[in-house]
Amino acid sequence: MIPFLDLYKINQRFEDEFKAKFTSFLDSGYYVLGKNVTAFEKEYAAYCGVTHCIGVGNGLDALRLILEGYIILGDLNKGDEVLVASNTYIATVLAIKQAGLIPVLVESERNTFNFNLEQLEASISEKSKAIMPVHLYGQLSPMKEILNFAKSYNLLVIEDAAQAHGASNNEGNYAGNLGDAAGFSFYPTKNLGALGDAGAVTTNNSELAVVVKKLRNYGSSSKYVNEYVGINSRLDEVQAAFLRIKLPLLDQDNNRRVEIAKKYLSGIKNEKIKLPNFNNSKDHVFHQFVIQVAERQQFIEHLKTNNIGTLIHYPIPPHQQEALSEYKNLLFPITESIHKEVVSIPISPILTDNDVIFIISVLNSYN
Ligand SMILES: *Cc1c(COP(=O)(O)O)cnc(C)c1O
């Protein structure tokens, strides 16, 4: 049996270190916003190459607090429009709404699972004030084009980097350091995953960093003095401790993901399976390996019969979710067809070469 993702096996590698860290965490008697959070923020900022990292409760809050921070700073105003790709995970859209801004969904591109750049141009209005590229499935968005576009329309660029820890561009700049600010999630399934919920904001903007740091903690910087209407979304101390143990292995895990992706790309030969684009650069860390198959359910059954797990990222696009019914009359034919045909196959760093060979043979025998 090859499960889609074996989280226990991934974390088992760190078991002794986790236990030792937990013991010292317990013994410290200090459980919220302690030295592990501060240390992780420093280490993750250094990893991404930014000056500031603020640990928060999860990825959704990371994105939301960036936007609320910009509203407090006066760079955004309630009711401003934010451009976002229509095939993103719903969290990106929810963060925009929760901050009192208006998500403008932009049709996506079939080959890249990202913005269609012409559609982007067509979606701009006088109220557009920010753009949120999502590095979906671990592949960087076309940041050069997006940054040029943002510059010509004076938009803030906020990366949703929740799936792209460690992805870097040709200049060696990392996800989290490619726009004005970025939101990360360390949900257990992500490339860098905690043992519970966790997230972070990265930015080189000191003013924004100061505001977000207050917003995550009731809008307060000194105890019982509250400057803003903040929320409670602090990176948990024990999760920060675990993340510090896992961060040094992130690059190695990402390299293994890419190695598996290369084996898939050269080994899978089946007309019925459309493989993802990959340009052999470090801009893709394969959070997911997403293929497209016309008769998806049949394909999933074939893998199931052979004891291989799959998942769909994602079965329903944001504009067709009940929670976002204001968008239900919009049509995004490419996004909709992507959602009908995508399937993710296992790409966990702990897969063995034999697992990968077996998966390839099962995919090649599908007809
Ligand atoms: C996981 C994810 C989020 C949200 O992260 P949580 O920690 O679950 O809140 C946001 N955007 C994308 C693209 C994600 O994959």
Report pLDDT digits (tens) over 260-306: 999 999 999 999 999 999 999 999 999 999 999 999 999 999 999 99
Verify whether ligand 1 is closer than 6 Å to residue 59 (CB atom).
yes
How many Å lie between the centroid of ligand 1 and the Cα of residue 77? Answer: 24
Question: Ligand 1 within 6 A of 349 CB?
Answer: no
Q: Is 96 in the pocket of ligand 1 (CB under 6 A)?
A: no
pLDDT for the residue 36: 98
Does the beta carbon of 89 lie inside 6 Å of ligand 1? yes
Give the 3-state secondary structure of residue 311: strand
Q: What is the pLDDT of residues 138-150, one digit of tens each?
A: 999 999 999 999 9
Confidence of residue 347 (pLDDT cuts 50, 70, 90): very high
- For residues 23 and 19, what is the distance between their CA atoms, to the nearest angstrom? 6
Q: What is the percent of the chain where pLDDT is above 90?
A: 98
Helix (H, G, I), strand (E, B) or coil at 175: coil
pLDDT of residue 69: 98
Q: Give the pLDDT of residue 121.
A: 94
- Residue 335's pLDDT band (boundaries 50, 70, 90)? very high
At residue 102, the 3 state secondary structure works out as strand
Task: Report DSSP state, residue 120.
Answer: H
Distance between CA atoms of 78 and 138, rounded to whole angstroms? Answer: 30
Reduce the DSSP state of residue 330 to 3 states and report it. coil
Ligand 1 near 60 CB (within 6 A) = yes
Q: Is the CB of 168 under 6 A from ligand 1?
A: no
Which of 89, 115, 184 has most ligand 1 atoms within 8 Å of CB, for mutation?
89
pLDDT for position 163: 98
Q: Could you tell me if the CB of 335 is within 6 A of ligand 1?
A: no
Instruction: Kindly report the average pLDDT of the chain as a whole number.
Output: 97
Q: What is the pLDDT of residue 275?
A: 97
What's the average model confidence in pLDDT over 75-92?
A: 97
pLDDT of residue 108: 95
For residue 208, the model assigns a pLDDT of 98
Residue 152 pLDDT: 96
pLDDT score, position 99: 98
pLDDT confidence band for 193 (50 / 70 / 90) = very high
- Quote the pLDDT of residue 76: 98
Q: What is the DSSP letter of 235?
A: P
Q: Give the three-class secondary structure for 226.
A: strand
CA 92 to centroid of ligand 1, rounded, Å: 8
Q: What is the mean pLDDT of residues 313-321?
A: 96
Nearest ligand 1 atom to alpha carbon 186: 7
Q: Which of 57, 73, 69, 128 is nearest to 99 (CA)?
A: 69
Q: What is the pLDDT of residue 342?
A: 97
**Helix H or strand E segment including 182:** strand 181-185
CB-CB contact of 273 with 296 (8 Å):
no
